[in-house]
Amino acid sequence: MRLHEITHADLPPALLTLLNPERLPTCFATVIIGGEVCPPATVRRWAAYCRVVNVYGPTEATICTSTVVCRTTWVDSDIGTPVPGIRYRVVDDQGQPMTSPGQGELWIGGDGLASGYVGQPALARSPFLVVDNERWYRTGDLVELIDDGSLCFRGRLDRQFKVHGVLVQPEEIEAALCACPGVSAAFAGKAAAGGGQLHAWVTGENLHRETLLQLLSDKLPMHLLPAALHLHPEFSLTTTGKIDGKALIDGSEAPAGAAAASDPMQSTLQRVWADVLDIPLPAPQAVLSVDSLAAMHACVQLADAGIDSMPNHLMLPTIAAQASALAIAGYEVNTIATETLCSRVNDMPRPPQLQVPTEETPT
């Protein structure tokens, strides 16, 4: 930023937690955030050093439909006011406009709406509709209409959620699990235990956890691999006959931690990933659920151990594979620096863990 005299930047909130606003160059003026709810403390911290603008909007409405400047008193997920040419409507369960404070679904109308989805005309019939001779897009976002007329994001009406800033479609994981031999039913969600990580639950016959995780790693990208996979003899059902996902999530327990590896590099990686992913100590051969932002966060911590690694070293599926790649690249663990790392690990900024009903966040 200093070298190229950057004045404005658009950064994901998950990345903001890894950067120190106190070190911003004097030329820097504005940071734009969006894509997920940013922790209020992070917003307030950055607002003390530069202008912070929160933006909201789905792809179907040409990305950005409203903006708001965040102050040092920021406490809620205000999505701001619509940009020129865009209209918002908050509707109740019956699709009727809300005029008094309360929660409802946000509809977007105006010049920015897409005409549909390329090559998928049928897909546009559900979210796009015409009401009162005006075309609207149903966002599926739950917002709250406040007394002063502002709108605050409150979650999703469907099952989408985010982990470390990455959007997760649980149905995709469930379909991949159900395609594995022996699996009769599956459920994926953001667990209450273990720092809000992606967990999955399966039932069926002759199931083996490590085998299923290995099969999943061949089908899904790393960020969609469950941090924990729970095997159940059967699922409890709701009164409508659906899997009781809330009972599974509420009843889940964080998996037990593994023993520390004897190899110094593997042991260091175990401690780093346990902190970054907020999980118990992972086994060297365990398949990790890692995305690029988590890899960057791990790189910051590894630097304190004297290992100036690159994120690509940490995008391998297991700690054993990562340690091997680092060894081949010529990295060694600095024992003294590692002890310093372990004493400081709780002071490191963590990727945000959202505490909203269904975790989908504004873009």
What pLDDT is stored for residue 194 in this prediction?
A: 53
pTM listed for this prediction: 0.68
Residue 201 near residue 230, CB atoms below 8 Å: yes
* Residue scoring higher pLDDT (357 or 300): 300
Tokens of 193: 């235990």
What is the share, in percent, of the chain residues with pLDDT greater than 70?
88
Task: Say if residue 201 is exposed, middle or buried (CB neighbours under 10 Å; 0-12, 13-18, 19+).
Answer: buried
Domains of the chain with CATH codes: 8-156 (3.40.50.12780), 161-251 (3.30.300.30), 264-347 (1.10.1200)
Give me the residues paired with residue 190 across strands.
198
User: 222 falls in which pLDDT band (50, 70, 90)?
Assistant: confident
Distance, in Å, from the CA atom of 153 to the CA atom of 142, rounded to the nearest integer, reads 6
What pLDDT is stored for residue 346 in this prediction?
A: 44
What pLDDT is stored for residue 67 in this prediction?
A: 96
| Residue 305 in this model has a pLDDT that exceeds 80 | no
What pLDDT is stored for residue 95 in this prediction?
A: 92
**Each residue's pLDDT tens digit, 196-218:** 678 999 999 999 988 999 999 89
Distance, in Å, from the CA atom of 22 to the CA atom of 28, rounded to the nearest integer, reads 11
User: 165 falls in which pLDDT band (50, 70, 90)?
Assistant: low
3-state SS string over the chain? CCCCCCCEEEECHHHHCCCCHHHCCCCCCEEEECCCCCCHHHHHHHHCCCEEEEEECCHHHCCCCEEEEECCCCCCCECCEECCCEEEEEECCCCCECCCCEEEEEEEEECCCCCCCCCCHHHHHCCEEEECCEEEEEEEEEEEECCCCCEEEEEECCCCEEECCEEECHHHHHHHHHCCCCEEEEEEEECCCCCCCEEEEEEECCCCHHHHHHHHHHHCCHHHCCCEEEEECCCCECCCCCECHHHHHHHCCCCCCCCCCCCHHHHHHHHHHHHHCCCCCCCCCCCCCCCHHHHHHHHHHHHCCCCCCCHHHHCCCCHHHHHHHHHHCCCCCCHHHHHHHHHHHHHCCCCCCCCCCCCCCCC
* Residue scoring higher pLDDT (345 or 257): 257
What pLDDT is stored for residue 39 in this prediction?
A: 87
Distance, in Å, from the CA atom of 361 to the CA atom of 363, rounded to the nearest integer, reads 7
Distance, in Å, from the CA atom of 39 to the CA atom of 91, rounded to the nearest integer, reads 27
Distance, in Å, from the CA atom of 362 to the CA atom of 130, rounded to the nearest integer, reads 24
Place of tokens 């037990």: 256
**Each residue's pLDDT tens digit, 249-275:** 887 666 677 889 999 999 999 999 988
